[in-house]
């Protein structure tokens, strides 16, 4: 897609919220900047809300950002045919198992595949974190996903923290330090949620 076409398309989506909220490459004025830079993440301004994420998981559970508020979210957009996604998924599963009790929610949003394909893939890789169906691509479009895998980090307070297009080393020392720092942030008081 040519740049002018892509910009026109993107301007028509809710993803504009995230694009407008970008401060630039990691290293901007966020206190998390030193933790974001080694992972080459894009950081968002502190007041940037993520687009809504409302969907159904493969096992027919409803999921939304509103119901997950107060948790650190790692939202990963993926597909079973994506070669870069495959090695990242077991790492995300490990993070889910190790850090869910501390407040991390790993959410996988599938790009336009059906339940049987997603189920087979999840069984092959032993995935237990929620896998959201996005058959029509609406959630992918709202988030401005242009390549897979794409990952968004959302803080306990519901703010968009950072994003990455392409696989990252989430289990590396810098990845774990970032997730630990986000988990160490205070949970918002219910009245401010």
Is pLDDT of 27 > 60? no
| pLDDT tens-digit series, residues 126-165 | 999 999 999 999 999 999 999 999 999 999 999 999 999 9
The per-residue pLDDT for 192 is 52
Share of the chain above pLDDT 90, in %: 78
Domain extent listing, the chain = 3-186
Q: Give the chain's mean pLDDT.
A: 87
The CATH classification number of 3-186 equals: 3.40.30.10
| pLDDT tens-digit series, residues 71-92 | 999 999 999 999 999 999 999 9
Is pLDDT of 105 > 50? yes
Q: Label each residue of the chain as H, E or C.
A: CCHHHHHHHHHCCCCHHHHHCEEEECCCCCCCHHHHHHHCCEEECCCCCCCCCEEEECCCCEEEHHHHCCCEEEEEEECCCCCCHHHHHHHHHHHHHHHHHHCEEEEEEECCCCHHHHHHHHHHHCCCCCEECCCCCHHHHHCCCCCCCEEEEECCCCCEEEEEECCCCCCCHHHHHHHHHHHHCCCCCHHHC
Q: What is the model's pTM?
A: 0.86
């Amino acid at each position: 897609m040519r740049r002018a076409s892509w910009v026109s398309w993107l301007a028509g989506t809710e993803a504009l919220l995230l694009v407008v909220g970008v401060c630039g490459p990691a290293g901007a004025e966020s206190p998390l900047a030193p933790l974001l830079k080694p992972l080459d993440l894009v950081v968002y301004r502190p007041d940037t809300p993520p687009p809504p994420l409302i969907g159904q998981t493969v096992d027919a559970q409803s999921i939304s950002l509103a119901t997950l508020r107060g948790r650190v979210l790692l939202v990963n957009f993926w597909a079973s045919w994506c070669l870069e996604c495959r090695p990242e998924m077991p790492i995300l599963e490990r993070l889910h198992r190790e850090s869910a009790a501390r407040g991390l929610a790993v959410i996988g949003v599938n790009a336009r595949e059906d339940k049987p394909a997603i189920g087979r893939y999840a069984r092959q890789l032993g995935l237990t974190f929620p896998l959201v169906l996005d058959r029509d691509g609406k959630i992918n479009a709202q988030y401005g996903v242009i390549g897979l895998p794409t990952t968004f980090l959302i803080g306990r307070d519901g703010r968009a923290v950072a994003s990455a297009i392409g696989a990252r080393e989430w289990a590396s020392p810098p990845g774990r330090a970032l997730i630990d720092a986000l988990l160490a942030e205070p949970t918002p008081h219910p009245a401010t949620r």
